[in-house]
Amino acid sequence: MNYRHGYHAGSFTDAFKHVILVSLIKSLLHKDTAICYLDTHAGAGYYDLLAEAAQKSKEFETGIAKIAHEKDPPSLIKQYLSCVQRINTRLSGSTISSLRYYPGSPSIMRYFLRAQDHMILTELHPQEYQVLKSDFAGNKHTSIHLLDGYQGLKAFLPPKERRGLILIDPPYERPNELAYITSILPSVLKRFATGVYAIWYPIKDRPTIDHFWRALRENIKQPTLVTELSIYPENSPLHLNGCGMAIINPPWQLDKQILDYLPWLWKVLSIHKQGQYQVLQLN
Ligand code: SAM
């Protein structure tokens, strides 16, 4: 396991993923009944943008640093920014005007979940796990496991709440990990058919993604939405060109909500207006 998310924290791919995550949880919290949030590849929970990794890659300059400077973002983006502000206030007493810390998915969800909800985090890297564990120490609504995220899908689904949001956000270090994910989804969905699943994926070239979409169409009966953001032309071999989120069982009108802010996000993040954004119902 070579991947360390500290190099990528706050990048355009993180910003896209976390904004969509905020949309998802806001939609699910419309009902009072408890939900379970399962994050299969949780990461460290927060990242110091002044640390060596972030300073070396400067990837946060492609994402959060751009968004934070915008004057009047759409309301959902403001809510995402308030999560960033809150972690800066909590860890350093400063505000977003002096952006130092970036929240990972567990920290973002922590700000939204209510007393009746429950969070399960799995992370396989021992150091990331330790940071996560100490940051959530004493939080009785959260359980944290040094465990393979795919094992976690077997161990923790279905949740006792019977309502759940599952984020599958691997580093894609394994060969053919997208194909692996689509191959296990039918059995995961058999365990918990009504869960809302959000699967983040990188876009390096279109044929790989077309293949992934085809596999989703063939393997999954549940309604599935895909949304994507690219900041470079999609077949450029030089960069990670974009990323997407496949959402199984999307909440009602999620596509419309995403379209309220995704054009704005693309305009702010794209490099010289390259790339594209889209929201599409697959199944
Ligand atoms: N979800 C996090 C967020 O949005 O802030 C970022 C997660 S990062 C993309 C992927 C994480 O998965 C890394 O922290 C890595 O150590 C961890 N990881 C790698 N293989 C794993 C596995 N098989 N099971 C669980 N975690 C794994």
Q: What is the pLDDT of residues 37-90, one digit of tens each?
A: 999 999 999 999 999 999 999 999 999 999 999 999 999 999 999 999 999 999
Domain CATH for 74: 3.40.50.150
Q: What is the whole-number distance in angstroms between the Cα of residue 130 and the centre of ligand 1?
A: 13
User: What's the CA gap between 73 and 241, in Å, rounded?
Assistant: 23
**β-strand 277-281 against 224-230: which pairing, if any?**
antiparallel
Residues near 38 by beta carbon (within 8 Å), at least 6 away in sequence: 119, 120, 122, 152, 153, 156, 157, 159, 164, 165, 166, 167
User: In this structure, what are the phi and psi dihedrals at residue 256, rounded to the nearest 5 degrees?
Assistant: -65, -40
User: What's the CA gap between 122 and 124, in Å, rounded?
Assistant: 7
Residue 93: per-residue pLDDT = 74
Residues lining ligand 1, Cβ inside 6 A: 1, 3, 5, 17, 39, 41-43, 104-105, 122-125, 128, 148-149, 169-171
Range of 135's domain? 5-281
Best of 14, 22, 41 to mutate for ligand 1, by most ligand atoms within 8 A of CB?
41
Task: Please say if the pLDDT value at position 100 is more than 70.
Answer: yes
Domain count across the chain: 1
Q: What is the whole-number distance in angstroms between the Cα of residue 171 and the centre of ligand 1?
A: 6
**Residues with catalytic roles:** 169
Residue 95: per-residue pLDDT = 58
C-alpha distance from residue 203 to each of 110, 140, 245, 258, 276 (Å): 28, 37, 10, 19, 12
Single-letter code of the amino acid located at 117: D
Task: Please say if the pLDDT value at position 175 is more than 70.
Answer: yes
Closest ligand 1 atom to Cα of 44: 14
Residue with tokens 């009944």: 33
Mean pLDDT of 6-29: 98
Mean pLDDT of 18-44: 98
At 97, is the pLDDT very low, low, confident or very high (cuts 50, 70, 90)?
low
SS3 236: coil
User: What's the CA gap between 271 and 103, in Å, rounded?
Assistant: 24
Q: What is the whole-number distance in angstroms between the Cα of residue 133 and the centre of ligand 1?
A: 14
Q: What percent of the chain has pLDDT over 90?
A: 94
Q: What is the pLDDT of residues 144-156, one digit of tens each?
A: 999 999 999 999 9
User: Is the separation of the CB atoms in 115 and 141 below 8 Å?
Assistant: yes
User: In this structure, what are the phi and psi dihedrals at residue 99, rounded to the nearest 5 degrees?
Assistant: -60, 115
Task: Please say if the pLDDT value at position 96 is more than 60.
Answer: no
Residue 234: per-residue pLDDT = 83
User: What's the CA gap between 227 and 246, in Å, rounded?
Assistant: 7
Mean pLDDT of the chain: 96
At 236, is the pLDDT very low, low, confident or very high (cuts 50, 70, 90)?
confident
